Amino acid sequence: MSVVIGIIALIIVVTIILVVMNMTRGSSLGALKSSRNREAAIREASKRLSQNPDDIEALYVIASSYFDDKNWDKAYKSFESLAEKVTANRNIPGIDGFEVFLRYGISARRLNLLDQAYKGFSMARTFRQDNFEVNYELGALEFEKKNYEKAVQLLQQARIQDPESPAVLRYLGHALFRLKKPKEAMTFIRKAIDLAPEDKESLFTLAECYHEANQVDQALRIYNHLRADPVMGPSCCLTTGTIHLETRQYEAAIQDFEIGLKHLNIKADILAELRYKLATTYIKLNEIGKAIPYLKQLQAENPSYKDVNILLGKYLELNANRNMQTFTMGSSADFVALCRKIVIFYYPKAKVKITNITVNKNEWVDILSEIDTSKWSDVVMFRFVRSQGSIGELIVRDFHSHLKEVKAGKGVCITIGQFTDEAKRYTEARLIDLIEKDRLKAVLNTLDAKTAAKK
C-alpha cells in the first residue's frame, strides 16, 4: 500500500512540474510578444537563439518581426524552420500552428516560391478550413496551375467569408470562363469590374464571355473600347478582326488587324496571327500585292507557321501573272471574259464564233464555239474549271454528257489544277483534251501578246 501511495505521489509531483514549465514557457513567449519595447524583445529573442538555436519561442518572435517588416526572404527562412518543427509536433505550447503555416505560405508567395506557398497554405488549412486568406490564396494558386475546378471550390469558400472581395470575384469569374461556363462567369466578372473598374484584363475576359455566349454585339463594344489599350489592344484587334472576317466584313477586318499591328511590344503569337489574318483577308479581296509582304514577314520569322509557305509560293506566282490571278480569283465577269479570249486564240489562225456561254456557280464555265480552220471545221465545247485541286472523273463525265447534248464534235477541259488518273483514263477513247496547269500557264503567258497583235 505504501508503494502505491509513493507512485501516486511521484506522478502528482511530475505533473505539477510539467504544468509549471508550460506556464513558464507560455508566459515567457507572452512577454516577448507583448513587450512594449519591440527592439528589446527582438534583442532578447536573438540572445536566446544564440544560446539555444532550438528555442522555438525566440524563433517565433524573430520570424514575426521579419514578417511585420515585410522582410520576406528572412521571414520565409524563419517560418520554414518553424513549419518543420510544427509538422513534427502540432501541439507546441504557445505556438499557433495555423499562423506559422499561414505566414510561411504568405512569405513564400511574396518570393514567388509557388510550390512552397501551396504547401504552407495547404498545411494551414488543416488547422482551419474557414479562413478567407487561406482559401483565397489556395484558390489563386490552383488557378495558376490551371486546376480550375479546384480553384472554383476554394474561391467559393473564400467568398463565404468575404462576398465583396474583388480579387475573389475576379479569380472566380476567370476560372469559370476557362471551364467553358461563360454565363456563370459573367456574373462574377461584372461584379469584380464594378469594384475595380481599372481591371482591363477582366474587362477583356467579360468580352470573351459575351463572345462565347453568342452575344457578339456586347462583345464587340468592349473589344472596340480596348483596341487602343497597350496591353489588351492587340488581342482585341485580333478578335474583332476575326469576327468581321467570319462575317465577310473584309474592310472592317483589315482596319482591325492594321490597328493591332500598330501597337508596340506585341506578343509573338498575337503578332503572327495578326499578320496571317491580314494577309488572308487581302487575298479574299484579290489584293495579292498587299498580302505578300505580310506573308514574307511571317516566312522570315516563322517558316513553319500554318500554310504560309504554300500561300506564298502560290500567290507570288499569281501576283506575277495577272491572267492566272483572274482565272483563279477574279470576279465571275472577269473570269468569263478571260475564258472567251482563250477560246478565240486557242486554235491559231482559226475563225471562231462563240454561240453559247453557261456559268455554273462560279465553279466552271462552258463555252460552245464554232471553229473554222484551213484544214477542218467543227463545233467545240470548252469547259474552264476554276478549282486548283484535283479534278476527278465525275466532272469529266458531266462534261462528256454535255458535249453529246449540244452535239459538239470535240471537247477541251481546262483547269488550273490537275486531273486525276481516273479522269485521264475516261478521256482516252473520247474526243476530249485535258489541259492542266502547266499548259494553261503557257496559254495565259502569251494571251496578252496575241490580244495586242490582233489589235
Question: 3-state secondary structure string, the chain?
Answer: CHHHHHHHHHHHHHHHHHHHHHHHHHHHHHHHHHCCCHHHHHHHHHHHHHHCCCCHHHHHHHHHHHHHCCCHHHHHHHHHHHHHHHHHCCCCCCCCHHHHHHHHHHHHHHCCCHHHHHHHHHHHHHHCCCCHHHHHHHHHHHHHCCCHHHHHHHHHHHHHHCCCCHHHHHHHHHHHHHCCCHHHHHHHHHHHHHHCCCCHHHHHHHHHHHHHCCCHHHHHHHHHHHCCCCCCHHHHHHHHHHHHHHCCCHHHHHHHHHHHHCCCCCCHHHHHHHHHHHHHHHHHCCCHHHHHHHHHHHHHHCCCCCCHHHHHHHHHHHHHCHHHHHHHHCCHHHHHHHHHHHHHHHCCCCEEEEEEEEEECCCEEEEEEEEECCCCEEEEEEEEECCCCEECHHHHHHHHHHHHHHCCCEEEEEECCEECHHHHHHCCCCCEEEECHHHHHHHHHHHHHHHHHHC
Say if residue 2's pLDDT is above 60.
no
Which helix (H) or strand (E) element contains residue 298? helix 288-301
User: How does residue 361 score in pLDDT terms, banded at 50, 70 and 90?
Assistant: confident
Question: Which region among 23-32, 155-164, 246-255, 369-378 has the lowest average model confidence (pLDDT)?
Answer: 23-32
**Residue 65 included in any domain:** yes
Specify the pTM.
Answer: 0.66
Higher confidence at residue 23 or residue 337? 337
Same domain for 436 and 375: yes
Length of the chain: 455
pLDDT score of 14 = 42
pLDDT at 18: 42
Name the band, by pLDDT with cuts 50, 70 and 90, for residue 48.
confident
Q: Are residues 349 and 426 in the same domain?
A: yes
Judge if 301 and 202 occupy the same domain: yes
Q: What is the mean pLDDT of residues 297-320?
A: 88
The pLDDT value recorded for residue 371 is 94
pLDDT at 35 over 60: no
Tell me what the mean pLDDT of segment 48-66 comes to.
75
Calpha distance 362→370 (Å, rounded): 24
Whether 13 has a pLDDT exceeding 50, the answer reads: no
What pLDDT, on the 0 to 100 scale, is given for residue 33?
Answer: 47
Using the predicted structure, report yes or no on whether residue 175 has a pLDDT greater than 60.
yes
Residue 303: per-residue pLDDT: 87
User: Once rounded to an integer, what is the mean pLDDT over residues 184-206?
Assistant: 91
- Residue 432, domain member (yes or no): yes
Going by pLDDT thresholds of 50, 70 and 90, the confidence category of residue 405 is very high
**Is the pLDDT assigned to residue 20 strictly greater than 60?**
no
- For residue 253, the 8-state DSSP code is H
User: Residue 96 — pLDDT band, cuts 50, 70, 90?
Assistant: confident
Mean pLDDT for the stretch of residues 153-167: 93
Which range has the worst mean pLDDT, 121-135, 232-246, 433-447? 433-447
For 71-90, what is each residue's pLDDT tens digit?
A: 899 889 988 988 888 877 76
Tell whether 13 is covered by a domain: no
Query: Using one digit for the tens of pLDDT, what is the confidence trace for 417-426?
Result: 899 999 999 9
Does 423 share its domain with 298? no
Give the cell for residue 88. 513534427
pLDDT at 127 over 80: yes
Look at residue 38 in the predicted model and tell me its pLDDT: 61
For residues 29 and 417, the model is more confident at 417
Cα 298 to the center of its chain, rounded Å: 18
316 in the same domain as 175: yes
- CB 360 within 8 Å of CB 382: no
Check whether 329 has a pLDDT greater than 90. no
Residues 339, 360: contact at Cβ < 8 Å?
A: no
Are the C-beta atoms of 78 and 66 separated by less than 8 Å? yes
Reply yes or no on whether the pLDDT at 434 is more than 70. yes
Query: Does residue 55 sit within a domain?
Result: yes
Rounded to whole angstroms, the Cα distance separating 362 from 385 reads: 9
Predicted confidence (pLDDT) per residue in 258-271, tens digit: 999 999 999 999 99
Residue 24 has pLDDT above 70, yes or no: no
Under 8 Å between Cβ of 99 and 91: no
Say which DSSP state 423 is in. Answer: H
pLDDT tens, residue by residue, 100-115: 899 999 999 999 999 9
pLDDT surpasses 60 at 7: no
Q: 27: domain range?
A: 18-320
**In this predicted structure, what is the pLDDT of residue 84?**
86
Q: Mark whether 269 and 183 lie in a shared domain.
A: yes
- 70 Cβ contact list (under 8 Å, min separation 6): 110
Do 158 and 180 belong together in one domain? yes
Residue after which a domain boundary falls, among 296, 320, 344: 320
> Which carries the bigger pLDDT value, residue 147 or residue 48?
147
Q: Is the domain of 156 the same as that of 246?
A: yes
Which of 43-47, 92-96, 244-248, 280-284 shows the lowest per-residue confidence on average (mean pLDDT)?
A: 43-47
Tell me the three cell numbers of residue 442.
503557257
Residue 402 counted as domain residue: yes
| Position 4 in a domain | no
- How far is residue 236's CA from residue 266's CA, in Å, rounded to a whole number? 12
Distance CA 445, CA 345 (A): 12
Residue 225 CA, distance from chain mean position: 20
Q: What's the CA gap between 84 and 108, in Å, rounded?
A: 15
Higher pLDDT, 11 or 423: 423
197 and 138 fall within a common domain: yes
261-to-199, 234, 251, 409, 426 alpha-carbon distances in Å: 23, 7, 16, 57, 52
Domain end among 320, 353, 373: 320
161: number of Cβ within 10 Å = 15
Number of domains in the chain: 2
Tell me the average pLDDT of the chain: 86
